[in-house]
Structures are given as structure tokens and as C-alpha cells.
Amino acid sequence: MRLTALLLAAALSAVPVAAQTAPKVTTPKEALGFNLGDDYQVANYTQLEAYWKKLAGESDRMKLVDIGPTEEGRHQYMAIISAPENIKKLDHYKEISQKLAHAEGVTEEQAHALAGEGKAVVWIDGGLHASESVGAQQLMEMVYQMVSRTDPETMRLLNDVVQLYVQANPDGQELIANWYMRGSENPNAPLKDPQKRNMNGLPRLYAKYVGHDDNRDFYMSNMKETTNMNRQMFHEWFPQIMYNHHQTGPAGAVIFMPPFRDPFNYNFDPLVPLGIEMVGTAMHSRLVAEGKGGSAMRSGANYSTWWNGGLRTVTYFHNMIGILTEIIGNPTPMNIPLVPDKQLPQGDWPLPIAPQVWHYRQSIDYEICNNRAILDLASRYRETFLFDIWRMGMNSIEKGSKDYWTVTPKRIAALEAAATAEGGATGGRGGRGGRGGGMAAGGDAAAGGDLPAGMTPGGLGARTVSADLYDKVLHDPKLRDPRGYIIPSDQADFATATEFVNTLIKNGITVMKATSSFTVAGKSYPANSLVVKTAQAFRPHIMDMFEPQDHPNDFRYPGGPPIPPYDITGWTLAYQMGVQFDRIRDGFDGPFTKVNGLLPPPASTVMGPSSPAGYLISHQINNSFILVNRLLKANADVYWLKKPATADGQDLGTGSIWVPASAAARPVLDRGAKELGVAVHAVAKAPAGEALKLKPIHIGLYDQYGGSMPSGWTRWLFEQYEFPFEVVYPPALDAGNLKARFDVLVFPDGAIRRGNAGGRGFGGGGRGGFGAAPDTVPDEYKDRVGRISDEKTMPQLQKFVESGGTILTIGSSTSVAEVFGIPVKNYLTEKGPDGKDRPLPREKFFIPGSLLKVNVDNSNPLAYGMPAQLDVFFDSSPVMKLEPAAEMKHTSPVAWFSGPEPLDSGWAWGQQYLDGGTAVAEATVGEGKVMMLGPEVAFRGQPHATFKLLFNGLYYGSAKAATVQ
Ligand SMILES: [Zn+2]
């Protein structure tokens, strides 16, 4: 009796905890007028913002945080949700999460204690790719459920986990929701009938400049939203698990979720891929347990974990478990088709789903199930996840504090080559270069006991080699990983090196600055040099930004077609930005102090006599273009000198900038030197000689209805470097009279595509306005509808060039050359059986986004200020063959491939075919010029080392020959 009473009392005291906190909060229907997931309804960001503010006022489980402005000027919000007693101590739990993630100075014992006391931190975002509309809607529903539900599981999740809900692209949600719902309030609109609503024909990019590439910006952090989210992940909260929602699922399935296929990146801690397996499996299990079929993994799609740079993937290089899902779903009901292949249950799709009509709400329910699966695991394994992020951080610190060797595919190839040279092999191997390598050919398989016939004890196709090669080859002392990197402050463009370091700082990397000159490994470095040591928790990210990516050869089968990567294969940011640095392979120290916050450009001044003849400026500094743009705007004269110049003992490189003294120039130079890190050298006497005199230019930047991402990135870049420009659409080009409006027209990759154009192959979201019924295109976008055509556009472009205009083309748009009769052909061909040239097949040549070395003629104005050799970003880019007549036709190569191995980072199958091919050329046509830049010289705003080709190309065509005296 007494016992029963006690139990009853205990039960009563347990239940009311939930009941007491059963909160009355506004439902989505009360706030929006519809339930989230109702057919034909989508909430926009204005509604999300208002609703979250309301909930934050009503619930003590929620704190709303403004994490920074968006590119269009909205406030980007993050909803923090946890138990009310946790919400009161958020700073405390944040500090624990941060200490464990940084690991530095925390012992194993302390880590266990902190893990015991801390709360798991889980990040869940939505809406990054705005047109994948389920993401933002599930986020709103999830937040509502977490502040309103009182079931035991919800209470446990609130108690154990600090949950971060982030709208990843507010501007995009506003655009797409309003687009889908357009006409809903106007009885005369063509889309008044809800059943006619659709997402088709979005008029512009759903992220102001970059559209879908908003998920390609995370190590670079060019965009404001990226910077906001990086700050929350790598400076504030350090989530142990993050979940990044996407669409759309594979045909015949509902959703793709991890585990992922190989390759994973050798830089990250093995606990990362294992954590992904663990969390992914828990998600599939929960869906299946709830009878929710149609989830696929691994071979179910081509997603992998190789690449850094996405919202999800950047977290791997920070010891975090990043989850991506790709679900189907649309406010307009859709159908799941019957795909025979997806009906037989197997490891990668355990519970097939029947073909059926699919409603929006079903997708939201799947996503909520996934969110809860992650929170449940984070709750149950709270201490393990918290401890493991410390373990990974400490592993990194240890690797950076001693001799350590990263094993990459090239090192394995070296090991095998060494073994072959020694003749020490004890087994055969079924073919090189492919995955799925086949059974071992011969060897000691019989010794394998329980192994299936034909398999060696080492595994599928394994070959064993002499063990002493482990130390000799894999631990070659010359190839130890660096203990750190030094970026000397006396390099030609230190302002750009400083920008590089800022990308690291935004990503939570500790950077140090020398307070005085110092010597390391026998080399002396000036004060202000920058130092990045690798003994820190996020070492994988450091290694990834400084070292080449060595992507494995990845084929369907040996000799078969290559498997395209999920994104790109090589991106080493220090190379892309042309940063000069030294690798230091022994422990080192110096007068270093930690950099707090972002570094401004190194301040400079105007040096030299006070009443000079003029000023010399190095063309090597990218920021010098900002200065030139400001000078021309102020009506000052600007020249590029043909002969290399020196000033104050410094080599200023080719195309040095000469600014004659004037009242207009001086204040611009004073301010520029101070703000932009551009040294300005006043000189008593003008540097006599030949020059090009720049004129202020009118730039037309091509774009199209729907928006092109390469054009959007270029637009952003022009704004950063203060180029005056106008965006121009096909109808305006077709209208002609272009020379009266523009000096130079810029066509990024994807704008023009003729014949075997090469190039990246997806220019943007728009297809010239197709997809939107013409009568539903709002008036403000009507003048964008159309495409470049041979009949209407090309004759106008031809007139423009012949009368003195410049056409600057990148990637596939270089194929416009044929229209002007410029004698260039595709270099990457072979003789077919009919004796005619045909493009090299993918089995022979495949370079999907890598960094390749080119030689540069920097005496050509298009390449002024550039080094004689550098890396370009190459993504199936066009490579030109200049016909023998080229010189006669005033066509000059400006950059070209030389040698059998131009690959510096990534994967370049068949790279030897590039030898002798032209990457960049310029041609004179009539009175004008055509610039052909094959590689992606401005790709995603990253390759600062090649921005000059674009920037020079803008001015070069209209500059006039002049003499400085
Ligand atoms: Zn997506």
C-alpha cells in the first residue's frame, strides 16, 4: 500500500512536469491562415520572421537571434530551442561546446567532465536552396512542434540538446514563395486558380548574386549569409551534428540520406565519416520504423564527402558530423513514379515505396522524423558526441605537434611503384586506377581460411608488399606534413594574401601575425608576416586550404568512363589566390601574436617627394584596380607602362601603373594607399616610354532571364572592385547600336555555347524565360526574356567589335570566336575512324574542376601584372589550337599549357593531352578586340590569381597607345 502510494506519488510528480509546461502558443494556421504543408500553400520569409518573433515572445523554450544581414538587407534569424532552464544558461553551454571543439588545453579527464555537464548542440537549417521549398517550411513546423509539444520524447530532446534552427537563405524564401503564390491576392491574375500555381520560370537568382552557388561559398565566405553561418558554427556554437536540408530525391524514391559513397577526404578525422554512418543509419531506421518508405543511401545518388566548400561539407573539416538529405516535395501535389530498379529492397534502399500521389505535408513529416532521429541520437549519445569532438580536435593538435604523414592516393601509387621496383610483391592485382578493382589474380589466396574463393587475406584485390616500405615511402622524412605555414609580408600582393587569411579566420582558424622580423629554418621574414600553425583543432581545414587535393582516379570499371565528382576535385585556396607561402616541417616559434577579428588590408602611404611628376603603382596588386577605377572616376589620367618599372627598390612587374600628378589624383591616392593596401610611389621624373592610356569604360555584363550564376558572381566581383557596369539582356543586344552604349561586353561561361564549346556546362537557373508562360512574367522582367541567337544577336555583336568594341568571353562563351572568323580550333581532339578530328572521349580526357599550371605572356596587356606561371581553375574548360594563320590575323596566345603534368590540385585524367594547348588568347577583329579566357578566371569569386585576366581585359581593348614623357 505504502509502496503503491509512493509509486503513485512519483508518477504524479513526473507527469505534471510536462503538463505544467504544456504551453499555449500560436499555431501555424493561426499565424499564416494555413497549415504548413497544405497543398498549394507556401509561407514566405516575412511570415517566418513574424511567426518566429511571436513564438519567441510566447515560449520560454525559445530564444531568437539575429545572426546578421543578408545580401538583400534582411535580418537572418536563428531560433535557439531548448528546455527553459537551458535557455537561461545558454552562455554556459556554448562555452562548454567551444572548449570541447577547440580541445586546446583540455585534458581527457576534463573533456569527460565537460561532456558530462554539457548539452549536445545540433544545427538544423532549411531553405538554403530556396527553390527546394520543403526546407524552409519544415523548419517553421519543427520550431512550432518543439515549442508546443509535451510528449516524453520532446521533453527529453529539449533537456539534452541545444537546438539551432537556421533559415539559410531568407532572401530566397521571400522570392520563391511570392513567386509561387503570385496572383493569389489578385482576382484578375492568370494564376488565381491555386491549381495553376507553380515554381516555373523564376525570373532571377534566388540568392542575390549567386543562386544555387550559395552552397559553394563556405571556405571562401564571400557572401554575407555564408559569413553569418560560419560565425555561428565556427566561432559561437560548434555544433557536433548539423543537418542541411535539400531537394530532390532520386526517381522512384522519396529521399536520399547518408551514408555516402566514397571517396571521403583523407584530411578529415575518421570519426567524421563514422559519425555520418551512425547518424544516417539512425535516420533511415526511424523512417522505416514509422513505415515511411522510399529512403535511399550510398549508391542511391552521387553525393560524396570529398569536397570542402558547402554548408554541409565544410563542417567535416571542423570535426563535425554534417548530414545532407535530398527529398521530393512540392506545394502542388506530385507523383512518385514506378521505377523497377527501386522496388527490390537492398542495402542502399531498404524499404521501397509504392507509386502514388505525393502531398507536400508528407515531405514535411519525413523531414520532422529525420530531425527527431538526429535529436534523439544526440540526446542518447550526448556525452559521446561531445567527447568525440574533443577527441578529434585533440587528434588534430597532436598531428600538428609531431612528425605526421597524410596518406593520399599519390603516396599509395608511390608505395606500389617502390614495391614493384624492389620486386617484393607477394600477390597480383586486378587492374589499376579503378574502384571495384576485381578479384586478386593469383597470390596466396588459399591461405585465406574462411575467405571466399579468389580473395586474398588482405581483402578484395589486395596485394601485400614489403613492410619496411611503410617507413621508407609512406613516412618519407622529406614529405612530413607541415607544422605550419608562413606567409611573408613582402610578397607582391600582400593585400590579397591578407584576404586569404581572412577566409581562414572566418572559418574559425587561429592565425598569428609577426610583431617584428624573425628567422625560421634559415630564412628571415619581415614583421607583419602571417603564420598559421597546424597544431589546432581544425587542422583538416588548414591542410585543405594550403595543400593540393589528390583526388583518386574514380571509374565505373577499369578502362571505363570516369565517375563525375559531386562538385569539383581540386580547389587549394592558397593556390587559387596566388598566395606565396612557405611550408615549415619542424616545430617553430617567433614573435607571433594572435590575430583577433578580420585583418584590414595592410595600410600603406604615398611615398616619395612631396611635389612629384607623378606616381607609380604596381599592377601586381589586385586592389590597384579599385584605385584605377576611382582615379578614372575622378577624371585623373592613368597609363599602363609597356616596360617593367621599379620604384623604391621594388620591382613593380609588367604594366606598371603611371598616374601623372594632378589635383584630382592625389586625394584618391592618399585614401587608396591607406585603405586598400596599395603602395603608391611618388617619383620626381616621369618614366619616359611607350604606354597605354586608359579611358573610362562602359561595361555591359551579359545576364539572362532566370539569372546566370557565373554572371551573378561577376556582378558581385565588379561591385567589390568598383567597376562601373550595367547588366545587359538578350533583347537589348538584339536591338543593336551597342557601340554607342558600351566599350566592352562581358560574356561569362554558359552565356554563349556553340559547337564543342567546353566549359562548365550549367550557366544558371534560367533558360531564356522558358518555363514561365509569357503572360505570367511580370512587367519588370519582360525585357529580360529571350536568348542569344545567330540571326539577331551575332550580327549586332559583329558590328560592335568591328567598330572598335571589345568582347570579353569566358569558358564556353569563347566559342563565339568562330563567328568572327578567328582562326582557333578545339585542341583536345583525336582522329576518328573516318580520319576526321573528333573531341577526346571522357575515357581519355576528364578534368572536372581542378587547378592546372599555365605559362603566361605577361608582356601582353591582358596579362599585365601576372607572374610568368600560375594556377588556373579548369573545369572541362575549352582549350584552343591557334591555326597557322593566327598571327596573320592578329591572334595571340596569352596563356598556354606546357609539359605532361600541369595538374597542381585535383584530378586530371589524360592531362598530357593539354601540352601545347592555348588557355587564353586575344584577337583583333576590325577596329575591336575579342578576348578568349578558356579557364574559369573568376570562378565563384575565388581565383584571385586570375582576376587580372578579366580586369585587364575590360580596359585593354579601349586603351590607346601613348607616350609618357
Ligand atoms: Zn539543394
Q: What spacing in Å lies between the alpha carbon of 325 and ligand 1's midpoint?
A: 9
Distance 248 CA to ligand 1 centre (A): 7
Indicate the Cα dihedral angle 527, 532, 533, 534, nearest 10°: -170
Residue type for position 631: L
- CA 126 to ligand 1 center in whole angstroms: 10
* Ligand 1 center to 4 CA (angstroms): 56
Q: How far is the CA of 129 from the centre of ligand 1 (A)?
A: 5
Ligand 1 centroid to Cα of residue 574, in Å, is 27
Look up residue 329 and give its three cell numbers: 516535395
For residue 916, how many other CB atoms are within 10 A of its CB?
Answer: 12
- Residue 755: predicted pLDDT: 76
Q: How far does residue 254's CA lie from ligand 1's centre (Å)? A: 15
Q: What is the distance in A from the centroid of ligand 1 to the CA of 176?
A: 14
SS3 state of residue 630: helix
pLDDT at 839 over 90: yes
- 662: CA distance to ligand 1 center in Å? 53
pLDDT surpassing 60 at residue 648: yes
For residue 593, give the C-alpha cell: 601574436
State the Cα–Cα distance between residues 786 and 792, nearest whole angstrom.
11
Report DSSP state, residue 263: P
Instruction: Give distance in angstroms: CA of 892 to centre of ligand 1.
Output: 41
* Cα 201 to ligand 1 centre (Å): 17
Place of cell 513564438: 55
Distance (Å) from CA 541 to ligand 1 centroid: 23
Query: Is 121 strand, coil or helix?
Result: strand
Instruction: Give the pLDDT score at 233.
Output: 98
Q: How many angstroms separate the alpha carbon of residue 246 from the centre of ligand 1?
A: 4
Taking residues 535-542, what's their average pLDDT?
98
Residue 132 is predicted with a pLDDT of 97
User: How many angstroms is it from 206 CA to the middle of ligand 1?
Assistant: 12
> Rounded distance, CA 339 to CA 251, Å?
7
Centre of ligand 1 to C-alpha 377, Å, is: 25
Kindly indicate the confidence band of residue 191, based on its pLDDT and cuts at 50, 70 and 90.
low
- Dist. CA 327 → ligand 1 center (Å): 10
- Is the pLDDT at 11 greater than 50? The verdict is no
Q: How far is the CA of 351 from the centre of ligand 1 (A)?
A: 24
CA of 304 relative to ligand 1 center, distance in Å: 14
pLDDT band for 885, please (50, 70, 90 cuts): confident
CA of 172 to the centre of ligand 1 (A): 12
What is the average per-residue pLDDT within 736-740? 98
Residue 762 alpha carbon to ligand 1 centre in Å: 15
CA of 857 to the centre of ligand 1 (A): 41
301 CA to middle of ligand 1, Å?
Answer: 13
Centroid of ligand 1 to alpha carbon of 322 (angstroms) = 14
CA of 74 to the centre of ligand 1 (A): 21
Least confident of 317-326, 380-389, 401-410, 427-436: 427-436
* Residue 883's pLDDT band (cuts 50, 70, 90): confident
Predicted structure pTM score: 0.94
Res 176 pLDDT > 60 = yes
Say if residue 512's pLDDT is above 80: yes
Q: Across the strands, what pairs with 922?
A: 892, 931
Query: How far is the centre of ligand 1, averaged over its atoms, from the C-alpha of 131 (Å)?
Result: 8
What is the spatial distance between Cα 909 and Cα 491, in angstroms, rounded to a whole number? Answer: 33
- C-alpha of residue 527 to centroid of ligand 1, in Å: 45
**Per-residue burial over 289-322, b = 16 or more CB atoms within 10 Å of its CB, e = otherwise:** eeebbbbbbbebbebbbbbbbbbbbbbbbbbbbb
Cα(726) to centroid(ligand 1), Å: 30
CA of 144 to the centre of ligand 1 (A): 24
Residue 362 identity: Q
Report the pLDDT value the prediction gives residue 187, as an integer from 0 to 100. Answer: 57
Q: How far is the CA of 214 from the centre of ligand 1 (A)?
A: 10
**471 CA to centre of ligand 1 in angstroms:** 44
CA of 128 to the centre of ligand 1 (A): 7
Rounded to an integer, what distance in angstroms lies between the CA atom of residue 878 and that of residue 760?
9
What's the confidence (pLDDT) of residue 771? 63
The 10s digit of each residue's pLDDT in 227-257 is 999 999 999 999 999 999 999 999 999 999 9
347 pLDDT higher than 50: yes
Q: How far is the CA of 135 from the centre of ligand 1 (A)?
A: 9
* 3-state DSSP assignment of residue 718: helix
Give the integer Cα–Cα distance in Å for 289 and 762.
39
Q: How far is the CA of 709 from the centre of ligand 1 (A)?
A: 15
- At 766-790, the pLDDT tens digits run 344 556 777 778 889 999 999 999 9
Instruction: Using the mean position of ligand 1's atoms as its centre, give its distance from the Cα of residue 132 in Å.
Output: 6
Say if strands 744-747 and 806-810 run parallel, antiparallel, or are unpaired.
Answer: parallel
Q: Return the bridge partners of 746, or none.
A: 701, 808
Mean pLDDT across the chain, nearest whole number? Answer: 92
pLDDT score recorded for residue 15: 43
CA-based nearest residue to 232, from 318, 111, 156: 318
Q: How far is the CA of 780 from the centre of ligand 1 (A)?
A: 28
Which secondary-structure segment (H or E) carries 419? helix 409-422
More confident site: 214 or 21: 214
Query: Residue 668: how many CA atoms within 13 Å on its side-chain side?
Result: 24
CA 294–ligand 1 middle distance (angstroms): 19
How many angstroms does the Cα of residue 436 sit away from the middle of ligand 1?
A: 29
